[in-house]
Amino acid sequence: MKRRDFFKASAIGVITPKSLIEASKIKIPKNKPVVLSTWNFGLKANVEAEKSLRNGGNAMDAAEKGAMNAESDEENNSVGIGGAPDEKGNVTLDACVMDSSGNAGSVAFLQNIKHPVSVARKVMEDTKHVMLVGEGAREFAVSNGFKEIDLLTKKSKKEWKKWLKTKREMTPHETHDTISVLVQDKKGDLAGACTTSGWAYKMHGRVGDSPIIGSGLFVDNEIGSAAATGLGEEVIKTNGSFLVVELMRQGRSPMEACEEALKRVIKRHNGNPDFQIGYIALRKDGTIGSACLKWSFEYALSKNGENKLYKINGLLS
């Protein structure tokens, strides 16, 4: 079969060969790094990521450094130390990374380690695997020199104890503030990191979308990258970040791709989801997009020497 005929035969649904982006035709920006992060603590993360880029770091180094900044921040109650624990008072962390070669590393249900994003990177670089969970992930971290610490701070313990009195189910958008950092470095290469303590007071053992490659984060160095924040269960069911990148491959702008991925969720919930999901997307040509389901969402963009916070309203607001 000739190549043209093959394309005709396989042109089903919305994926027509005409609309597929030809990676080789994308204009790759050189010496114009972009850092895009979720939520307002993304501003500080962007500063760290930019610092890493200035010091010669590549996109992966910068994304890791950005994510580490949020993990270290004790005031941030949804990432790393100071993150809200599960219903039993254990802080369990999920994180993943992807680099420009399509390599991926991930940890889930990791306890007592301050920088899960760095453990995820170690999994990617030093093992044959993509994902380590729980006790195995902790042992791997310790054997690689990561120190064990108590991640439950005085403040997060106090808040958990207060919650224990009512055990009120937290509505997901109350505490869901994962950080994802998407970076394009000066060569134009893409990488990303995503890290969270997940849903506050979650069921013991619960893991969200953040460490799942394709859900919380996806990077395809030919097309673009995307990351999610919000109710992980719903992101997983639609393979959200992978979907956003594939929609960009099909010719959608980063914003259209984020919106279309959310429309699938809206449809699944008969037009009325009662939770939040936010996506950020960075296309290989340096353009970015973002969209959220409801209420509002903030992302931090560092580009052309400016680091700014942007607030957007939900598709259903």
Residues designated as active site: 178
Tokens standing for residue 185: 């470095």
CA atoms within 13 A on the CB side of 255: 7
From residue 257, how far is each of 48, 266, 270 by CA, in Å? Answer: 28, 14, 20
Does residue number 298 form part of the binding site for ligand SD4 (CB under 6 A)?
Answer: no
Nearer to ligand SD4, 42 or 57 (CB): 42
Q: Which of 100, 210, 238, 302 binds ligand SD4 (CB under 6 A)?
A: 210
Interaction of residue 230 with ligand SD4, rule CB under 6 A: yes
Q: Confirm if 96 and 106 have CB atoms less than 8 A apart.
A: yes
Residue from 199, 201, 218, 242 binding ligand SD4 (CB under 6 A)? 199
Nearer to ligand SD4, 101 or 296 (CB): 296
Binder among 42, 198, 273, 286 for ligand SD4 (CB under 6 A): 198
Size of the site for ligand SD4 (CB under 6 A): 14
Strands 224-230 and 217-220: antiparallel
Footprint of ligand SD4 on 139-178 (CB under 6 A): 176-178
Q: Under rule CB under 6 A, which residues in 75-114 are in contact with ligand SD4? A: 78
What's the closest the beta carbon of residue 282 comes to ligand SD4, in angstroms?
18
Q: How far is the CB of 28 from ligand SD4 (least distance, A)?
A: 30
Tokens of 41: 């603590």
* Nearer of residues 231 and 265 to ligand SD4, judged by Cβ: 231
The dihedrals phi and psi of 43, each to the nearest 5 degrees, come to: -60, -50
Q: In the bound complex, what is the minimum distance in angstroms from residue 168's beta carbon to ligand SD4?
A: 18
> Which C-beta is closer to ligand SD4: that of 76 or that of 100?
76
- Between 188 and 230, whose beta carbon lies closer to ligand SD4? 230
Stretch of residues binding ligand SD4 (CB under 6 A), selected from 1-9, 118-126, 218-226, 228-236: 228-236
> Looking at this protein, which amino acid is placed at residue 61?
D
Give the angle 130-72-97 at the CA atoms, nearest 5°.
20
* Dist. CA 200–CA 192, nearest whole Å: 24
Please give the backbone phi and psi of residue 249, each rounded to the nearest 5 degrees, phi first.
-60, -30
Does residue 42 bind ligand SD4 (CB under 6 A)? Answer: no
Answer for which of 66, 82, 85, 232 binds ligand SD4 (CB under 6 A) is: 232
Closer residue to ligand SD4 in complex, CB, 28/170: 170
Cα(first)–Cα(last) distance of the chain, in Å?
49
What phi and psi values does residue 13 have, to the nearest 5 degrees? 60, -145
What is the C-alpha R_g of the chain?
Answer: 19
Q: Which stretch binds ligand SD4 (CB under 6 A): 85-93, 144-152, 194-202, 282-290?
A: 194-202
Minimum separation from the CB atom of position 188 to ligand SD4 (A): 28
Place of tokens 């950080």: 179
**Chosen residue from 52, 111, 195, 196 binding ligand SD4 by CB under 6 A:** 196
The answer to whether the beta carbons of residues 175 and 199 sit under 8 Å apart is yes
Which residues does residue 190 pair with via DSSP β-bridges, in sequence order?
Answer: 184
Query: Which amino acid belongs to residue 19?
Result: S
Give residues in contact with ligand SD4 (CB under 6 A): 78, 176-178, 196, 198-199, 208-210, 229-232
